[in-house]
Copies of this chain bind each other. A is one copy, B any other.
């Protein structure tokens, strides 16, 4: 049980953008975290299509948060990036069904447990995660100097 790399990179990208006032590029984010640029491009597309960030091409363009960090809910981001209804093969609505699915109490217990996981995340925004925004900015500035 592990958060997908897709969601991991999405949350990191949002943190990077929240630490900067001006637009940033995929290269900036990839360099700061030393992670795959190709993977980040897909993540950024998804974040943009879900309305968490804006993406502008050309000179002066780049990625920015689409709204204030205090208005980006962590549970909402994880729901948008993860296939939370595919937690097990027998999740309600899944195409693959186990032989005992019709009588088994487990799938609903697991679905409710995933619900409890998400409900906890719903209590926090990107701004909460970034409690010390200035420290994030300083760390990213050091990374840029190093690379």
Contacts and interface: CB of A to CB of B under 8 A. Distances in A.
Q: How many copies of this chain are found per oligomer? A: 2
- Name the interface size band of chain A: 35 or more
Given A99-B143, A109-B129, 5 more contacts: A1-B84, A99-B140, A103-B139, A106-B129, A117-B117
Contacts of A15: 100, 104, 106
Contact of A139 (B1, B100, B115): B100
A103 B3 contact: no
User: Chain A contact residues: over half helix, strand or loop, or mixed?
Assistant: helix
A58 interface: no
A116 interface: yes
Contacts of A86: 2
Contacts of A119: 116
Best-buried of A1, A12, A33, A120 by chain B (most CB within 10 Å): A1
